[in-house]
Structure 1
Amino acid sequence: MSYKLDSGSERTARRVSIGEAVDRLVRGGVPLRFTAYDGSSAGPPDAKIGMDLRTERGLAYLMTAPGDLGLARAYTSLDLDLTGVHPGDPYDALVLLKDHTKFRVPTPAEALQIVRGLGLSHLRPPPPPPQEHLPRWRRAVEGLRHSMTRDAEVISRHYDVSNRFYELVLGPSMAYTCALYEPVDATLEEAQAAKFDLVCRKLALQPGQRLLDVGCGWGAMVRHAAREYGVRALGVTLSLEQAEWAQAAIEREGLGHLAEVRHLDYREVVETGFDAVSSIGLTEHIGVRNYPAYFAHLRDRLVPGGRLLNHSITRPHNGRQETGAFIDRYVFPDGELIGSGTIISAAQDQGLEVQHSENLRLHYASTLRDWNRNLVEHWDECVAEVGEGTARVWGIYLAGSRVGFERDEVELHQVLATRNHDDGRSGFPMRPDW
């Protein structure tokens, strides 16, 4: 597909090769070997990792959405390739680009010269790939952010991809949250089991108690708690495919007398009297402004002396910051992150006593590494299941997130709190007992 226009301005402008434009815009040179469909190149010829711009459409994506969104569009549409790395795990390429790529801002005259030299026709934006979600302003037209309807739609978009795809990437545990690598050389399955066991021990679960797991995913926590601790566990999720898969797994494992997973918004759980509540990977989806209502609702589900474990991705600061365009459009629409201090304050303001907080940041980096390995190992089947464009999105999303956790751009906190009795009794020991 061509995007050229036969305009006078293009005929008179000095042609600028794509490689030349890249060289002029990157300070200190390109750290990898860049090649383009016009035959031009930039960067060291002997570089082990390369980037190949294959089409005019790819150039139009880059020119009309500079930054991670344009790169994501070109890469997802197969108009841009990374060479020397597997598309299921482009970690080495992302580290190289992050550490050694510094763009400079051209003068207005230079920018105009480059744009005209590359072709003004490339400023006509191509349609985005089908994997891309609507921008925030379009979503706002369709419903309030974090309303039940809009939350259900964005959760379905991310999680109702294909249960088989998730089985291949996540492994048998079907746990899509940070694992616990103790010891550090644990397998992914061992680490996920260790994470769920840590949550159970922090909640001090005992046989016969009642557990509510909100945002339960494929029911891994519900099944672990019922099987290993003998509790009666209820899980709720906004994803219909997750709920159906989880309930089938419960029946398959003979846990139907103890465990149940419902397709339900956590705000619609009306039962009370739970001894414990676990929330593993839900807080990222509910919106910071909804924290007061969220913690109040979970507090009201607990018996006096009951415990709440909140496990969520956090930022290393408490300032408001929107997620990047790639994550918002391709991975977690409407997702919001904030520092653990805000989460703790919100819990305290709703009458919960925070007993313990723990940062598992580096454990999440290891979890993402292992998900990337699974994606690589099962690449052909994953592509057959969801298409190469979606599989590429997952490869770059997992690898990029791993870099973020390693660099302390994002963190993972478990916050443990209690709903105390009216006289202040919490039932919590003088020191943590897990």
Structure 2
Amino acid sequence: MRLAEMFERLAGADAPVRFRAYDGSTAGDPDSEVAVVVRHPAALNHIAQAPGALGLTRAYVAGYIDVEGDMYTALRALADLVLSDRPTLSAGEMLRIVRDIGWVKFVNRLPPPPQEVRRSRLASLGLRHSRKRDAEAIHHHYDVSNAFYELVLGESMTYTCAVYPTPQATLEQAQFHKHELVARKLGLAPGKRLLDVGCGWGGMVIHAAREHGVKALGVTLSKEQAEWAQKRIAQEGLGDLAEVRHMDYRDVPDGEYDAISSIGLTEHVGKKNVPAYFAALYDKLVPGGRLLNHCITRPRNDLPPFKHNGVINRYVFPDGELEGPGWLQTAMNDAGFEIRHQENLREHYARTLRDWSANLDRNWDAAVREVGEGTARVWRLYMAGCVLGFERNVVQLHQILGVKLDGTDAHMPLRPDFEPPAL
């Protein structure tokens, strides 16, 4: 069997991309702007050992499969094949391929690429979401390289969904708009105290101090993030107002903050820990204080339990978990918060990811020099796949605003006045 025949069985004879392989065979649409290229027989080992998205990801990250042209365009054309976690060949079809191509190519097991998290390593650190294991999961994703993140994220160094005030807004304008939107929802003003949990490289902390005169503390489990953020704070002359510490949010003292921003942390907490997470943040607020929770969500609350062995968990977010917005809002409410506002920013995250992908493609050679081709490939595939996920409503992004009542007073405006002025 020529590999082109195998491709046609997987993707269909009318696949909307070009295909070619090391054996010289070709298939698909010869006029397509993107091509899938099998460069080495080892690609077959990965696909046979893990049919579906995981095997294809391993083969791509290892360099045995390539995509020529735009990754997003290729994934969109082959979304049902590439984004599915179910096996794409029946047992009978696999046996025929094994017989036709050669048994030895399938029985020689290959280890996953080094970019895949060793699940045994995580298990050795304790139960999911223990302190040591959380620290390792955060280290895997966020301590890749500050220089690499600068290439991908741009000047703002903000690794969360931006908010685009207009279709023409740049990534930097949209990240500023997002930080300002959060600041307004939290009612930030000079003299107030902000805690930003999971603060990343300090974008929200810096914005709150610079634009609103707030005394802001950010905490992160990433040592590299904290060091980078402290240098940026010093460069901007904000050391008297802003600080980022390398510490666990659970170690922050209670009852000291007027506002808390949780931007992109809830995904790392784990469903069983979410109620305790919101309860802990509630305790850290003064009466009348506000919490803005900004996180990736699932589109419904009644979906099957979140999978921990998929591609994203293995390569990008170890131990990450997503829940529905209604479930999260209920958990906040049960922790004591009065819910005052929520919105879905799904389309904004798709646009954010497209801008990050464009940055990576534009800086590809520098990115490869910084982190190696395998890691750069993980990011290229992951971000393009996530664009599709947000576009197709596989995932969403919600901001939920809650207040810790001061008796019965929420200290909120009669009508929302959150939206920053247009650019």
TM-score (norm 1): 0.91
**Alignment correspondent of 1:325:** 310
**Alignment correspondent of 1:195:** 178
Counterpart residue type for residue 299 of structure 1 = Y
**Alignment correspondent of 1:371:** 356
Q: 1:105 to 1:126 in 2, by over 3 A?
A: closer
**Alpha-carbon deviation of 1:410?**
0.6
Asked if structure 2 preserves the Cα contact closer than 8 Å seen for 1:420 and 1:426, the reply is yes
**Alpha-carbon deviation of 1:139?**
2.9
Count of aligned residue pairs for this structure pair? 413
Q: 1:56 to 1:361 in 2, by over 3 A?
A: same
Counterpart residue type for residue 130 of structure 1 = P
Asked if structure 1 preserves the Cα contact closer than 8 Å seen for 2:299 and 2:396, the reply is yes
Asked if structure 2 preserves the Cα contact closer than 8 Å seen for 1:237 and 1:264, the reply is yes
**Alignment correspondent of 2:148:** 165
Asked if structure 2 preserves the Cα contact closer than 8 Å seen for 1:31 and 1:100, the reply is no
Matched residues in 2 for 1:245 and 1:138: separation?
27
**Gaps spanning 5+ residues in structure 2: where?**
419-423
1:274 to 257, 272, 292: 257
**Alpha-carbon deviation of 1:106?**
5.4
1:48-107 Cα offsets, whole Å, 9 max, x none, are 22111111111111111111111111111111111233xxxx111111111688999655
**Alignment correspondent of 2:323:** 338
**Alpha-carbon deviation of 1:249?**
0.7
Q: Within 5 Å, which residues of 2 pair with 1:165-314?
A: 165-314=148-297
**Alignment correspondent of 1:406:** 391
Counterpart residue type for residue 414 of structure 1 = Q
**Alignment correspondent of 1:6:** none
1:296-353 Cα offsets, whole Å, 9 max, x none, are 1000000000000000000101133226621111110110001111110100111111
**Alpha-carbon deviation of 1:24?**
2.9
Matched residues in 2 for 1:309 and 1:107: separation?
47
Q: 1:84 to 1:340 in 2, by over 3 A?
A: same
User: Per the alignment, in what secondary structure is the counterpart of residue 312 of structure 1?
Assistant: strand
User: Per the alignment, in what secondary structure is the counterpart of residue 415 of structure 1?
Assistant: strand
User: Per the alignment, in what secondary structure is the counterpart of residue 382 of structure 2?
Assistant: helix
Q: Please state if 1:424 is matched with 2:408.
A: yes
Matched residues in 2 for 1:110 and 1:126: separation?
22
Matched residues in 2 for 1:26 and 1:179: separation?
34
**Alignment correspondent of 2:51:** 66
Asked if structure 1 preserves the Cα contact closer than 8 Å seen for 2:353 and 2:384, the reply is yes
Matched residues in 1 for 2:233 and 2:87: separation?
55
Q: Within 5 Å, which residues of 2 pair with 1:142-157?
A: 142-157=125-140
Asked if structure 1 preserves the Cα contact closer than 8 Å seen for 2:143 and 2:224, the reply is yes
1:133 to 111, 117, 134: 117
Matched residues in 1 for 2:166 and 2:143: separation?
33
User: Per the alignment, in what secondary structure is the counterpart of residue 127 of structure 1?
Assistant: coil
**Alpha-carbon deviation of 1:415?**
0.3
**Alpha-carbon deviation of 1:424?**
1.7
Structure of larger gyration radius: 1
**Alignment correspondent of 2:42:** 57
**Alpha-carbon deviation of 1:138?**
5.9
Q: 1:396 to 1:382 in 2, by over 3 A?
A: same
Asked if structure 2 preserves the Cα contact closer than 8 Å seen for 1:26 and 1:104, the reply is no
Matched residues in 2 for 1:112 and 1:288: separation?
40
Identity %: 57
Structure 1 vs Structure 2 CA RMSD: 1.8
Matched residues in 1 for 2:266 and 2:289: separation?
19
